[in-house]
Amino acid sequence: MAKNLSKVFSAELDGIDAKLIEVEVDINIGLHSFNIVGLADKALSEAKERVSSALKNSGIKPPTKENRKITVNLAPADIKKTGSQYDLAISIGYLLATKQIKDFETRNKIFIGELSLDGSLRSISGALNIAVMAKKMGFEFIFLPKQNAEEAALIKGIKIVPTSKISELIDHLEERNLIDYQKEIDFSPSDNFFGVDISEIKGQENAKRALTVSAAGGHHILMSGQPGAGKTMMAQSLISILPPPSLEEVIEITKIYSASGFLKENSFLNFRPFRSPHHSASSVAVIGGGTNPRPGEISLAHNGILFMDEIPEFKRDVLEALRQPIEEGVIHVSRSKRAVSFPAEFLFVAAMNPCPCGYFGDSEKECRCTANEVFRYQKKVSGPLLDRIDIQIDVPRVKIEELRKKGIDENYSSKIKNQVKRARELQKERFLKAGVDIELNSEMSSKETDEFVSLDESAESFLKSVLDKSFISARGYYRILKIARTIADLEESKIVSSNHLAEAFQYRVKDGER
């Protein structure tokens, strides 16, 4: 390495994935100047002031006192550099280039962190994402703000050095006062009920059964019913019967929230997320995007639940944009200069009223809507989107007698949860044995559905008779078979029988389709 040249490593977020960035600092003869090159944005160009003040207030000679030309290059130059996480790397590179700290091995270390003017470090976004990249590329140490250390420690096999001040870091690098490494996190998954357990729902046995099937096979569900029937409460209760996430799922969820800047200090998400965007949300807010593309609500719901209440009230472009991620589990955001993909494997739960006033078809309260208003309202949710929602049920109003019943069966939710867990285990074992890289019945392709859904004679006969009387699309046909396979898994049956198919048809075929 040249006499007045240093190179250290930092990282840049590209979507939710991190990319390695080389930070080169060159000190040259000439009048004082401090330039940062390499496609840096405004926040990064302001790093010159933060670095100078932080070093000065830490008792170190800052770049502003150097009567020489200072050039910081961020490579590769074709990647746009954003944010303030390069402050720490620039500072260390400058200190190495000016010989203010002794040389050390830089090839196995990554430096990330924003500097305050007093030399302390502020938290950054994407610490976990950077740790994943660092381990994959063979780095041994990550130096980052103390507030992000616990998050990054989810990744085992790499040493996390939590740093509070740059002066503290210098003492560590010069081996005067070593910083203790962050302890590895003992992962323990958590259930997040959002205050609603399925055992708290009174009545609605058919709807609760549909929720069980939805949770067991990962099937999207639409609930239609009068206001106050309990649709929102049931959607929230779905979390209570889903199994807690695995470590791999926790890492995926935390990467998304960390990249979005939604994590609290020293935390990670060890529960399944529940996202419920308002119907006024824009397409970018729900789907993701922006000038520098960021995850939207469908990605924040990854490995969890996306709930859309009053779905006809959402903008048409938002609803139609859901079609591709619902089908593929990923969203591709394309812009003129870059394209980013975000994971979006969520359980889609939607709720709607049958008409604008909410009482169409109600036996107790008269609907005041005209036939045209009812038709237009229901058509706000397009056929192609409905065709992608596996389970579609009507949720009737609960009778007062049911509501007045006291006492909760505390074993009900644990019983349902165990059923769901066992059904998911059977699916995972089946696909693993066949060498198929999926885990849930809802993820099966048409070819895989033909392979894994075995019907007995009664089921074959029932299927033929019903298909002759109903109009069902090819997509709808395969979704019925997937639902039937899930119902059979809940009963731990290897063969799909006619009663499994009958229940599956009940969830798919509406009165108008019979």
Q: Which two tokens stand for residue 183?
A: 């302890």
350, 365, 349, 348: which is closest to 226 by C-alpha? 365
Is this model's pTM higher than 0.95 or not? no
pLDDT at 512: 38
Answer whether residue 100 shows pLDDT above 70: yes
**For residue 20, what is the enclosing H or E element?**
strand 17-28
Mean pLDDT of the chain: 90
For 182-236, list the strands marked E by DSSP.
Answer: 221-225
Percent of the chain with pLDDT over 70: 96
For residue 510 the two structure tokens come to: 């509406």
Torsion angle, CA of 56/61/67/70, rounded to 10 degrees? Answer: -80
> Is the pLDDT confidence value at 305 over 50?
yes
302 three-class SS: coil
Residue 187 has pLDDT above 50, yes or no: yes
User: According to the model, what pLDDT value does residue 205 have?
Assistant: 87
- Cα(205)–Cα(227) distance, integer angstroms: 18
Is the model's pLDDT at 193 over the cut of 60?
no
Nearest by Cα to 14 from 123, 110, 132: 132
How much is the pLDDT for 363?
79
- Range in 84-93, 99-108, 270-279, 505-514 the model is least confident about: 505-514
Beta bridge mates, 111: 143
Res 87: pLDDT: 95
pLDDT at 43: 76
CA–CA separation, 255 vs 479, rounded Å? Answer: 31
Residue-wise pLDDT tens digits, 448-475: 999 999 999 888 988 888 877 777 778 8
- Residues 241-273 pLDDT 10s: 999 999 999 999 999 999 998 887 767 888 899
pLDDT at position 404: 73
For the segment 171-181, the average pLDDT, to the nearest whole number, is 95
Average pLDDT over residues 335-361: 89
Q: What is the mean pLDDT of residues 194-213?
A: 86
Quote the percentage of the chain above a pLDDT of 90.
69
346, pLDDT greater than 70: yes
Confidence of residue 192 (pLDDT cuts 50, 70, 90): low
CB atoms under 10 Å from CB of 186, counted, come to 5
**221-225 and 347-352 as β-strands: parallel, antiparallel, unpaired?**
parallel
Q: What is the pLDDT of residue 191?
A: 66
**Lowest-confidence pick of 55-64, 177-186, 329-338, 343-352:** 329-338
Please give the pLDDT value at position 514.
35
Rounded Cα distance between 204 and 212, Å, is: 12
Reported as type and span, the H/E element at residue 161 is strand 159-163
Residue 1: which pLDDT band, with cuts at 50, 70 and 90?
Answer: very low
Instruction: Say which residue, 326 or 335, is predicted with more confidence.
Output: 326
Backbone angles phi, psi at 394, to 5 degrees: -95, 135
Instruction: Tell me the pLDDT tens digit for each residue of 128-171.
Output: 999 999 999 999 999 999 999 999 999 999 999 999 999 999 99
Are the CB atoms for 111 and 21 separated by under 8 Å? Answer: no
Section 62-76 average pLDDT = 91
Three-state secondary-structure class, residue 318: helix
Model confidence band, residue 86 (pLDDT cutoffs 50, 70, 90): very high
